[in-house]
Amino acid sequence: MALDLTTLSPEARAAFIKDGERFSSEDTLAQANQTLNAYATHGAKLADYGFDPADATELQDARDGLIAAGVGREAKRTSKKIDTAAHSAAMRNGQGTRLRARSVLGGAKRTLLASGNIATVQKIEALLERDSVAADDAEGLAKQLDALKDMLKEQAIADAAKNRGGPKAVTDLGTDAQALRDAAKAKAEPRGTPAETELLDLLDGIIVSLARTAREAAEAAARELSEPAMATAFELSALYKRRAKKKGDEPTGGGGEGG
């Protein structure tokens, strides 16, 4: 029968969600496709071993639910790659501007020291020491750029740095700090509503349960029918090749029951 999520008992729903939380939806989608492809070849032999056509239909419906939710969409993956590249470029540019601004401050400090402006020299030294190591996250680096920009805009320092790259550094620090924040925001994985996340976890859990059941049925049939290729076709390699949510050994049980 077709998958009807409204007929699941609260206990089954909770069990599926708990199991689904441990897996990436990209991985469960890949596993569903792999199991359904195997079923297209060997499915007729599995009904007597615990996995019947109704189970396969439920698996297909759960798989289609993930696709409808946007899981596996190529445009989404491409967008994420672009966002990641922009984030890397912003970090690289920001780090370069940070080093240049620190050098400009160093030059200004020498001029200020020569003129006896010790208080301002000490402020520069304190900032350079405090932020001696570049932050490795976008917001942290942006804050370091903000601090450098504010320091370079102080009148005495601005005067000392005006012919040492100070004005350009101030402009670039502001531009790069904003670019870092924009890139970090774009790169952040969009979060769905709690209901959307729960639905994905539920579908993930159902797919995992059905894929495990199909795997067990295939192993039993393969042994009795002397067809080892059948067991291989139903391996859970998409689920356990990489674990995006939680590491653990592949379970041997079949999991919860489908709706």
**Is the pTM here over 0.85, yes or no?**
no
- 44-85 pLDDT, tens per residue? 999 999 999 999 999 999 999 998 888 865 545 555 555 667
Which DSSP symbol is given to 258? Answer: P
Residue 11 CB neighbours (<10 A): 9
- 140-173 pLDDT, tens per residue? 999 999 999 999 999 999 999 999 999 999 999 9
Separation of alpha carbons 94 and 141, rounded Å: 7
CA distances, 2 to each of 65, 195, 257 (Å) = 12, 22, 14
- Confidence band (pLDDT; 50, 70, 90) for 255? very low
What would the mean pLDDT of 201-209 be, rounded to a whole number?
A: 95
- 167-191 pLDDT, tens per residue? 999 999 999 999 999 888 876 655 5
Spans of all domains in the chain: 5-74+192-240, 88-187
What pLDDT does 192 receive? Answer: 59
What would the mean pLDDT of 6-22 be, rounded to a whole number?
A: 93
- Confidence band (pLDDT; 50, 70, 90) for 223? very high
Which DSSP symbol is given to 250? Answer: P
Give the chain's mean pLDDT: 87
Cβ proximity of 39 and 31 under 8 Å: no
Separation of alpha carbons 79 and 59, rounded Å: 29
